[in-house]
Structure 1
Amino acid sequence: MAAPARSLCHIAFHVPAGQPLAQDLQRIFGFQPLAAREADGWRQLALRSGDAVFLVNEGGGRGEPLYGLDPRHAVPSATNLCFDVADVSAAARALASRGCSVPVAPVSVRDAQGTATYAVVSSPAGNLSLTLLERAGFRGPFLPGFGHVPSATGPGWVSHVDHLTLACTPGSSPTLMRWFHDCLGFRHLPLSPGEDPELGLEVEAGSGRGGLRLTALQTPPGSAVPTLLLAESLLGATDGQDQIEQFLAQHRGPGLQHVGLYTPNIMKATERVAVAGGQLLTPPSAYYLQPGKERQILAAGHEPSLLAQQGILLDGDKGKFLLQVFTKSLFAEDTFFLELIQRQGATGFGQGNIRALWQSVQEQAARGQEA
């Protein structure tokens, strides 16, 4: 592999001036300001909850934002994943030798807290760039060039990033999987027994609503990189654009569709998000009425009526369960969203929950079209 990723440092967003993403992350999701920088027409604010760090690049001035690339997106979006690597210069050379575009060659940034070296690589998921970062010995709160921002001391209700989901064009998952394997050290993670990595997991929504193909990737044990999910629409007739197709159309290509944020207490986290004004997706009404669903929820130690009230999905068996709740889009374009996830022993992604999420997004889109 060219540049094995050791950890996810941060996820970067590009938004226009005045877009309230940074405020929403604080007010609704409990993130706290970590560090800030203003230069060349850019306002960059890093926010943290546990080990999850988001970097909001606001504006769009001359040149590139520090530690990233200005992609000139058609819509506000999550545009960059920053990974820690052992040797940025060697990684950039290795990736370039494989034919990868390196629009920002290795550059070092120094301040009183130490030095960091980074390079930016174009990924095959068109709208998503990757920053490779080397910051051994840096002692500051975030990265060189950023100033500390005083914030509240209370911890947020998110502990780390659980997974990252890319919206991909139909048929592209095998190519993307090989790229992330060869370049960053990701490996196929089966979501079902005996799964063919070239085919992934097919989840049909039913009733002619289409569905999606999921391929999961993970880095070797010992790294701190979240699971990467490649999601593409299943070929077949649907009523209008599905959620993946809508993302591809609005973003004019593939990119980061949603981020799964791990919380140790999804009931409390969901309640806080709702009280703060966060908008959550409502699961299909039939979800909690499925045969065996009430028994499953009780076996996991939860009250069915409370989960239904908060829109929390639960899947799993044999003492291993997965709880998830999904927000509506963080942007007016109705594309990128967040997920809160809690695992009780489960390591995968429940097919029943995937199907329910798909139906929820499709029903939400249908209601928006009728309004």
Structure 2
Amino acid sequence: MAAPARRLCHVAFHVPAGLPLAWDLQRLFGFQPLAMREADGWRQLALRSGDAVFLVNEGAGPGEPLYGLDPHHVVPSATNLCFDVADAGAAARALEAQGCSVPVPPVSVRDEHGAATYAVVSSPAGNLSLTLLERTGFCGPFLPGFRPVPSAPGPGWVSHVDHLTLACTPSSSPKLMRWFHDCLGFRHLPLSPGEDPELGLEVAAESGRGGLRLTALQAPVGSDVPTLVLAESLPGVTSGQDQVEQFLARNRGPGLQHVGLYTPNIMQATEGVAGAGGQLLTPPEAYYQQPGKKQQILAAGHEPSLLARQGVLLDGDGGKFLLQVFTKSLFAEDTFFLELIQRKGATGFGQGNIRALWQSVQEHAARVQEGGCSRLS
């Protein structure tokens, strides 16, 4: 373990000037501005909801944006995960000794609130980089170099990041799992009893052709880092590109496909997002007519018709449940999206819901191909 991650600081995006991602996060999902920096051709805005922080890097300066790396990527995307570490310099040296590329060696930044040191490491997951951040001596609202942005309290729909899902090329999950284990201390988190780490959890499509392979990873004990999920397509004939293949094609390679945001009240959050104009994926009609699904929803204390109207999925057993709803893409390229999730004792991701997501995304993709790409706003 070269650089054990202690907590997730933020998820960073790169978008062209004028793309309304920061505004969409505020207007549609209740994030509030936290801090801003405008310099060197970059406009960097940090937004927060609870402990979930997104950093939107807008523009394209001549150098690297502070605390990140400009991937010179051709489409807007989520491009960086920033982790707190105990010693950024030592972590960068240890990773470099393991053969990792460190395009931004340790840099120290200071302002009136204190100092922070960071380094940026390239990952094997496409255009996704990792920032290793040491900020024990900093007491400001975000990071040195950023000025605070006054804002009103948000609606509280989101409390923290629950998980991060990477779309991967076929058969690459074992290699990625070993990299995150050796470099950051992540270890395999079984999603089913007796699961083989090399195989993960296979979720076949209803047609029996194709499907998803999911491999979950958890950070070292004592850390406060969300679960990392690796998703790749299963071999098999499908009627067209599945959502992982579509992401790989439109994102020009692997990357962060979605962020699962935890909400303490998914019905309230879903109502708020939909009321603000956010577009949510519609589950297949048959989802709520599955044998036993009505009884399962009632046993969890929810009304089936209300869940169906809001597009909320529910899965679980033994008195442990989770509820999920998925947004359409935040970008015109139909790549990155968000998930709202509420857990009632369940720690996995719900195989029935994974299958339903698979089918609903496939149906949405078919509609997009017929009528042209749709935007969130």
Distance 1:51 1:230 in 2: 23
Aligned length, in residue pairs: 371
Q: Helix, strand or coil for the counterpart of 1:28?
A: helix
Q: After the TM superposition, which segments of 4 or more aligned residues of structure 1 sit over 2 Å from their partners?
A: 153-156
| Alignment-derived partner of residue 68 in structure 2 | 68
Which residue identity does 2:221 align to in structure 1? P
Indicate conservation of the 8 Å contact 2:313/2:324, yes or no.
yes
> Map of 1:243-282 to 2, 5 A cutoff?
243-282=243-282
Contact 2:322–2:342 under 8 Å retained in 1 = yes
Give me the whole-angstrom Cα distance separating, in 2, the residues matched to 1:105 and 1:162: 29
1:214 matched residue in structure 2 = 214
CA contact (8 A) 1:257 1:337 kept: yes
Is 2:118 aligned against 1:141? no
SS of the counterpart of 1:286? Answer: helix
1:261-305 Cα offsets, whole Å, 9 max, x none, are 000000000000000000000000000000000000001010000
Query: 2:352 — aligned with what?
Result: 352
Q: 1:122: which partner in 2?
A: 122
What is the CA distance between 1:208 and its match in structure 2? 4.9
The aligned amino acid for 2:333 is: E
What's the CA shift for 1:252?
1.7
Partner of 1:165: 165
Letter in 2 for 1:240: G
- Supply the distance in 1 between the matched residues of 2:274 and 2:126 (Cα, whole angstroms): 34
Query: Is contact 2:101-2:122 (8 Å) kept?
Result: yes
Q: Does 1:320 align with 2:320?
A: yes
CA distance in 1, matches of 2:201, 2:121: 29
Amino acid corresponding to residue 227 of structure 1 in structure 2: T
Separation in 2 of the partners of 1:257 and 1:235? 19
Alignment of 1:15-26 (within 5 A): 15-26=15-26
Scaled by the length of structure 1, what TM-score is found?
A: 0.99
Residues 70-100 of structure 1: per-residue CA shift (max 9 Å, x gap): 0011111000000000011110011001100
- Counterpart of 1:96 in structure 2: which amino acid? E
1:227-270 superposed Cα distances (whole Å, 9 cap, x missing partner):
00000000111122111111111222110000000000000000
> Pairwise mapping of residues 220-259 of structure 1 onto structure 2 (< 5 A)?
220-259=220-259
Aligned to 2:333: 333
Letter in 2 for 1:317: D
Q: Tell me if the contact between 1:208 and 1:238 (Cα under 8 Å) persists in the aligned partners.
A: no
8 Å CA contact retained: 2:49, 2:154: no
SS of 1:342's partner is strand
Normalising by structure 2, we get a TM-score of: 0.97
Match of 2:304 in 1: 304
Task: State whether residues 74 and 250 of structure 1, in contact with CA within 8 Å, keep that contact through their aligned partners in structure 2.
Answer: no
**Distance (whole Å) between structure 2 residues aligned to residue 137 and residue 89 of structure 1:** 15
String of CA shifts for 1:114-157, please: whole Å, max 9, x gaps: 00000000001021000000000211000000000010124431
Q: Which runs of 5+ in 1 are unaligned?
A: none
Seq. identity, %:
86
Structure 1 counterpart SS, 2:308: helix
Match of 2:34 in 1: 34
| Amino acid in structure 2 at the alignment position of 1:7 | R
What is the one-letter code of the residue matched to 2:188?
H
Contact conserved, 2:50 with 2:159, CA < 8 A, in 1? yes
Partner SS, residue 36 of structure 1: strand
Consecutive unaligned residues in structure 2, runs of 5 or more: 372-377
Residues 326 and 338, structure 1, Cα contact 8 Å, conserved in 2: yes
1:96 is aligned to 2:91: no
Contact 2:4 2:220 in 1 (8 A): no
The 1:137/1:270 distance shift into structure 2, 3 A limit, reads same
Structure 1 residue 206: deviation in Å?
Answer: 1.7
